[in-house]
Amino acid sequence: MEINRADSKDKAKHGRAGVSRRTFIKLSGLAGAAVTASYAFRKYALAATPTSESPGSEFPQVEGVVSEQLIPTSCLNCATRCATRVRVTNGRAVKITGNPLSQVSEGENCARAHVGLQVLYDPGRFTLPLKRTNPVKGRDIDPGWTAIPWEQALDEVSERLKTLRDSGQPHRLVVFHGLNTTSGEDVIQRFATAYGTPNVISDAGFDNEADKSGQWLADGNYTQSAYDLPRTNYILAFGASILESYKPLARSLRMWGKIRRERPNRAKVVVIDPRYSVTALRSDQWLPINPGTEGALAMAIASVIISENLYDIGYIENWTYGFDEYKALALDIKYSPESVAAVTGIPTDTIRQLAREFAQTKPAIAWRGRGATSWPNGSYTSYAIFCLNALVGSIDVPGGVIYQENPPYRSMPDVTEDDIARAGKAQPIIDLRKTARFPAAEVVSNQAADSILEGKPYPIEIAIGINSNFNMLAPGADRWDRALATVPYYVHIAPFPGEMAEFADIILPACTFMEEWGYDHSPPGSGFAEVRIKQPVVAPLYGTKSVANITFELARRQEGTIAQSFTGIGNDAEGFVQYRTSSLAPWEEFRKQGVWVGPAYEYYKYGRIFLTPTKKFEFRSGNLQTLLLRAGQSTGGVATLPHYEEPEFLGDPVNYPLALLPYQPLMSVENGSQNYPWAQEMFLVMHGQGWNNFAELNRHTARDLGIRDGDAVWVESPYGKIRAKARVFEGLHPGVVAIATGQGHYAYGQWQTGIGINPNEIIGTDYDSLSGQAVFFNTRVRVYRA
Ligand code: SF4
């Protein structure tokens, strides 16, 4: 595989209806300063409306403001789903700000929020249902789309679903979903349950499943950890890109200001990461660790804390299990600071310094992220890092790990299931979760492609992708191309084109989050619960429909128990939101405020937070022991203890001496598209550059390879090679080459296609052995001048 896009960016930047950097800054400033002035309004509209054919031209361009509203809704440019308010002038959305009633983000949002305007007015959006006329499917093959009416599209999809179900094979339907509203996910799951398929595959397996399983091993909660950021005094961030991509992002950004600037005792932050990230830039200490060795460092820190009696004896004695075995393991010579310094590249004195600071600067947090856990040893690394919090008593205390409260949405009546649904749901799930292959997994997104290709455990007849773009997200992307080409009937539901849409037999054009009804909450982070509304700030453009409304309509057409399951919960997306949030606040008040905030967080709930056999925090995992025994696997040795396993790399170190480090930058919008000039303009804030991504190299590495800044280079792995522009950069471990993800689209979108490269194209397929998390960081590459 060869992908050559080194020069494409500059061409794109200068060869299109370009919003130059200078113009962009000027327009943004104008928009922020005076949206009520008609002059500013026209300028701002220009920035959001790049061509005369775009949706914006349908709106009246009046001289002077005749109407203006501020509508509470929420953002969906990442899973944080922040509460926002959208200023709508003359029927056109012109500005997005945070909702000051939100206590999660305290009225703030991130730079990506503003891109919502260009999500809404994206000139490349689908406008009508499309039907494929070319039966041949593949990358760069024209599907031969022809527009069809909504009724025809929904009838066709419904008929295919009915035929499959009537044959007694509902499990041969698979539903893929990417970033959706919380309410959208609820109706998707409800439809799948009523229909009778167990195969609902989210994109979470590309994200942070190993993080979640690490906490589950310790305390039984399979969840992303939540940290009491505003009250902490010390953070050890292991591969956690807290200020770029970790969710809830806007909350972290806001609370960072509090702990670093707005109180007398400024919290100390140490970032452990081979890459000098935005988080590292804003920290006190950056430690460029050898890639994949974070678990060893965590165990060495434990070793020092234990050997110097710095651990919280009261907490350990009262609320933990298995400490003696963990202690014996941590004190093994393998985890002495001297041994681990040789593994990690972090000096012995620094390891001791970190351990002492972490134990003595209370409250402290050991925070893990994908950089540390998206490895074949990910769950054990995650477990080892998470255990540091228990060691110093930072569990459910102010400034420590906290346990997220979920909103008390009004419950739904049980799904009505018939015999076909029950039999379908009893079939094995195609992603192999909870099998001997992935015993602790909740979802193994990337495995689904191989299962479809192999027809195991059974062939898939229909796939539905909802706001998903796995072909871009997945390592080994060509497997997804082939898998989708194999599925006899693929339905794609999304607002805009993308790589996955290329393989569809039919496209149902969804509206964007600025045009739909929904309810949302953030991933764990605040502790207390908060719900935000999504309400249309403008009517759906082109007659597009929300995911929830499409699902309601399909359910009605299926009739029988499926249609029954969608009665009594509101008749459509708006009614459903009204139904589910009726337990929170009166409807009109919720619409007006846009936010519902739950009770203040309660700490020290030790009697109910540990979902383990011992009802304690477990340094030896009873939950894992049960699963391994069930799978017929060994539970001896360190199998159920936190520990370090040397990661296996893909590619031999002689021919491929560098580790590839794909990372998500702040301006990578998470909806599967990157067709947004504003996001493109400042795509790489750390480099002050946009409209591209680079092969980033340490200065010494580049010198040894004879590569200069700006050179065209090949980045080659055992799985293919991509051509990029080199960026010589001090802030990188010399043993890695870093490439930002989000670019390298090849399917439609005038502001995204042909821009930069997608590092996932050359990453091998591998998994964390317990959680099934797709591994992104263990592929070796070589870099040479093109
Ligand atoms: S953090 Fe995510 S949801 Fe919040 S404003 Fe930024 S992109 Fe939108």
Cβ(395)–Cβ(617) below 8 Å: yes
Residues 457 and 345 in one domain: no
On the question of a cis peptide bond just before residue 457, with omega within 30 degrees of 0, the verdict is yes
- Provide mean pLDDT across the span 320-330: 98
Q: In the chain, what percentage of residues exceed pLDDT 70?
A: 92
**Any bridge partners for residue 368, and if so which?**
238
Helix (H) or strand (E) holding 466: strand 462-466
> What is the pLDDT at residue 506?
98
In a domain, 292, yes or no: yes
> Biggest alpha carbon distance in the chain?
76
Q: Determine the pLDDT at residue 331.
A: 98
**Distance of CA 114 from the midpoint of ligand 1 (Å):** 9
Structural domain includes residue 745: yes
Q: How confident is the model at residue 772 (pLDDT cuts 50, 70, 90)?
A: very high
Q: Is the pLDDT at 40 greater than 60, yes or no?
A: no
- Assess whether pLDDT exceeds 60 at residue 315: yes
What are the pLDDT digits (tens) for 392-420? 999 999 999 999 999 999 999 999 999 99
Same domain, 285 and 367: yes
Is 591 part of any domain? no
**514 Cβ below 6 A of ligand 1:** no
Alpha carbon distances (Å) from 287 to 48, 275, 294: 41, 9, 11
Nearest to 749 by CA among 44, 10, 7, 50: 50
Residue type, 457: P
521 lines ligand 1 (CB under 6 A): no
Identify any residues that bridge with 237 across adjacent strands, giving them in sequence order: 271, 367
Q: Are residues 179 and 221 in the same domain?
A: no
| Number of domains forming the structure of the chain | 3
User: Which residue type does 784 have?
Assistant: Y
For residue 211, what pLDDT is reported? 97
Q: Which pair of tokens denotes residue 226?
A: 């939540």
Alpha carbons 261 and 230: distance in angstroms, whole number: 11
Instruction: Report the alpha-carbon distance of residue 165 to residue 554 in Å, rounded.
Output: 13
The predicted structure's pLDDT at residue 65: 60
pLDDT on residue 46: 29
Q: Is 181 in the pocket of ligand 1 (CB under 6 A)?
A: no
* DSSP-derived pairing of the beta strands 173-177 and 462-466: parallel
Is the pLDDT at 2 greater than 60? The verdict is no
- Per-residue pLDDT of 664-702, as tens digits, reads 999 999 999 999 999 999 999 889 999 999 999 999 999
In this structure, the answer to whether residues 463 and 554 fall within a common structural domain is yes
Domain match, 667 and 711 both: yes
Residue 24 has pLDDT above 70, yes or no: no
- Is residue 82 in contact with ligand 1, taking CB distance under 6 Å? yes
Atom of ligand 1 nearest to the CA of 111: 6
Residue 59 has pLDDT above 70, yes or no: no
Dihedral sign from CA coordinates of 332, 334, 335, 336: positive
State whether the beta carbon of 242 lies less than 6 angstroms from ligand 1.
Answer: no
Top-confidence residue, 190 or 61: 190
Q: Which of 75, 244, 256 has the most ligand 1 atoms within 8 A of CB, as the residue to mutate?
A: 75
Residue 253 and residue 154 share a domain:
no
Identify the CATH number of the domain in which residue 470 sits: 3.40.50.740
Tell me: do 252 and 384 sit in the same domain: yes
For ligand 1, whether the C-beta of 12 sits within 6 Å is no
CB proximity list for 386: less than 8 A, separation 6 or greater: 214, 215, 217, 218, 225, 366, 368, 401, 642
pLDDT band at 67 (very low <50, low <70, confident <90, very high): confident
Helix (H) or strand (E) holding 88: strand 83-89
Range 569-575 average pLDDT:
97
* Mean pLDDT, residues 487-503: 97
The reply to whether 687 falls in a domain is: yes
Protein residue with least CA distance to atom 3, ligand 1: 81
Nearest CA to ligand 1 atom 2: 78
Q: Which atom of ligand 1 is nearest to the CA of 253?
A: 1
Residue 667 included in any domain: yes
Residue 551 lies in a domain: yes
Ligand 1 centroid to residue 11 C-alpha, Å: 30
Q: Looking at residues 639-659, what average pLDDT do you find?
A: 97
Ligand 1 atom index nearest CA of 74: 3
Distance 83 CA to ligand 1 centre (A): 9
Give the closest residue (by CA) to ligand 1 atom 4.
82
106: CA distance to ligand 1 center in Å?
13
CATH code for position 345: 3.40.228.10
The Å distance, Cα 663 to ligand 1 centre, comes to: 18
Asked if residue 149 and residue 290 are part of one domain, the reply reads no
C-beta 293 within 6 A of ligand 1: no
Is residue 383 situated within a structural domain?
A: yes
Close Cβ partners of 534 (under 8 Å, ≥ 6 residues apart)? 73, 74, 76, 181, 183, 513, 516, 517, 518, 519, 520, 577
C-beta atoms surrounding 65 within 10 Å: 13
Nearest residue (CA) to ligand 1, atom 6 = 110
Categorize the per-residue pLDDT at 480 as very low, low, confident or very high, splitting at 50, 70 and 90. Answer: very high
- Ligand 1 centre and the CA of 245: distance in Å? 10
Helix (H, G, I), strand (E, B) or coil at 534: strand
pLDDT tens-digit map of 367-400: 999 999 999 999 999 999 999 999 999 999 999 9
At 764, which CATH number? 2.40.40.20
Question: Binning pLDDT at 50, 70 and 90, where does residue 62 land?
Answer: low
More confident call, 32 vs 682? 682
Contact in structure between 218 and 225 (CB atoms under 8 Å):
no
SS3 503: helix
Close Cβ partners of 422 (under 8 Å, ≥ 6 residues apart)? 196
Give residue-wise pLDDT tens across range 712-759: 999 999 999 999 999 999 999 999 999 999 999 998 888 998 899 999
What pLDDT score does 543 carry? 84
- 394 and 299 in a common domain: yes
Residue 239 has pLDDT above 90, yes or no: yes
Ligand 1 within 6 A of CB of 77: yes
Mean pLDDT of 49-62: 37
In a domain, 495, yes or no: yes
- Together in a domain, 615 and 726: no
115 Cβ inside 6 Å of ligand 1: no
How many Å lie between the centroid of ligand 1 and the Cα of residue 110? 5
- The CA distance from 767 to 377, in Å, is 9
CB-neighbour burial class of residue 657 (10 A; exposed 0-12, middle 13-18, buried 19+) = middle
- CB 80 near ligand 1, within 6 Å: yes
Q: Which residue has the higher pLDDT, 270 or 3?
A: 270
Residue 257 in contact with residue 279, Cβ under 8 Å? Answer: no
Q: Which residue has the higher pLDDT, 396 or 67?
A: 396
Residues 505-529: tens digit of each pLDDT: 999 999 999 999 999 999 999 999 9
Q: Which residue from 765, 769, 79, 199 is spatially nearest to 441, judged by alpha carbons?
A: 769
Q: Are residues 622 and 692 in the same domain?
A: no
- φ, ψ at 301 (rounded to 5°): -65, -40
Query: Is the model's pLDDT at 42 over the cut of 60?
Result: no
Predicted confidence band at 255 (pLDDT cuts at 50, 70, 90)?
very high
CA dihedral (610, 614, 617, 619) positive or negative:
negative
Atom of ligand 1 nearest to the CA of 105: 4
Residue 341 pLDDT: 98
- Residue 102 Cβ inside 6 Å of ligand 1? The answer reads no
C-alpha span between 271 and 296 (Å, rounded):
16
List, in sequence order, every beta strand (DSSP E) within 587-630.
595-597, 617-618
Q: Which domain holds residue 746?
A: 658-785
| Share of residues in the chain with pLDDT > 90 (%) | 89
User: What value does the mean pLDDT take over residues 145-169?
Assistant: 98
**Gap from CA of 100 to ligand 1 centroid (Å):** 14
373 shares its domain with 421: no
- The residue with tokens 């305007």 is 117
